[in-house]
Structure 1
Amino acid sequence: MQRLEGKIALITGAAMGLGAASARRLHREGAFVVLTDRKVEEGQKLAAELGERAEFRALDVTQEAEWIAVIDAVVAAHGKLDVLVNNAGVGVVADIENTTIEQWRFVHAVNVEGVFFGCKHGVRVMKGGGGGSIVNLSSVAGIIGASNLAAYCSSKGAVRTLTKSVAMHCARMGYGIRCNSIHPAFIETPMVDELARAMGDAARARAGLAKGIPLGRIGDPEDVAAAVAYLASDDARFVTGAELAVDGGLLAQ
């Protein structure tokens, strides 16, 4: 028996990057996966690729009304929601002196408010359905600072501590809902490609990023997807409010 067999999982930002990798991994482990994203064409293509036990629903995570509609539709169609992966995220390469208020608000709307809405409405439907697992994608930048990622660091730090608040609330209310955060370092995603390009010489920047990781390489999306699958599964039934670093040893230095 696959460890996620029979579970209904919703993943945000699932059209590409870590979201797509997580969707593939959860599907491979037996879950029915609901892929959500603003990128409709890419999301539909991945859902079709996965075939059975997969569907796509359009979702802008910054809009609470869309969250309510999507989550309620998933529960109506499938009877429950067992796993919520708040993966959708954006970043702006800018230090504190050069970050505009528009950039600041955009990053926080997606990375913080999107996770807030997901947790709020995930808890709403999970608490009456036997519990579940919420997995929030934060970052090593939510624990340590990066000089050129002011808004991103702030937003991911908020995700880190929001996760703990949700975990404690659900535990004390006896909802049977676990909530944990994952903190990746640099992973092979479009966001890291954009960061490397913004640093000028992309190839040199990528080499520098890899050099700063003790294991000596940029991570693979599957490295993060494996952590998502673990936290989503009953193997992590005694894990809540935790922060799981998937960082090649970066935070241990």
Structure 2
Amino acid sequence: MNVFVRTVICTALLVISKCDLLNDLNNLDIITIHFADPTIKTANNILFVVGTLLSAILLSWELHIQKANITKYKRQQKNLIGNYKATLLSGLKQILGIKHFPEVNIRIFLYNKKKHSLDIINIEGLAQVGTTAGLSFDISKNEGLVSACYQSNNYIYNPDLHNSDNTTMPLSHRQNNQTANLRFCLCIPLFDSKDKINAIVALDSTEALEIPKDKEQKIVKTITTFCETLKDLLPVTFKES
């Protein structure tokens, strides 16, 4: 039974229960009720209760079906994104010619025009949230590699954050706490149709990773292509704030 038919039936029951249709039909001998008026009133009440309960039951069932479909879609989306990520990491490993590639998170920082900041989006299947929930970088203060990437209009990376001087890219105490366990970080700008940066993609890991100079461009190009595909897959996620 489709939604339209169910809606018509429930509405008809409720309308009939609230008008004198049964009484009118009885008076016209279209239907015959050999009882007094109270019986017709009782019938109307029953129709009202049945109509109300049926509406509630069918609505609850529709919501249950929709929720199940959304859950299924999200699970399929997560698996698809996870497969994309695995393919990307496999390709990066081949480019670098290494057997072990660190466990990395791929995070998206969307440009927030009102705040002139870059706000984190952790996509399930690409990144573990960990302590990074709500992480944001103020571009005007040149906070972190993410802001530096935006300011330079180019990719930027640090093979080992624990063994480098980051005083030129200061972080707040909260930002330090949220990123304290990270060592490797590679940031790449993504551009919109007007050639303006609308997001920064950041690969980070708790392990250090050195990228040979002659392979940087190929690594960046591979990741950028991956992200452009991701933008087509999740257009709402990449919508500018």
Q: Note whether the superposition's TM-score is higher than 0.5.
A: no
Shorter-normalised TM-score: what interval?
under 0.3
TM-score, normalised via structure 2 length? 0.25
Task: Answer with 1 or 2: which has the greater Rg.
Answer: 2
Higher relative contact order (CA 8 A, sep 6+): 1
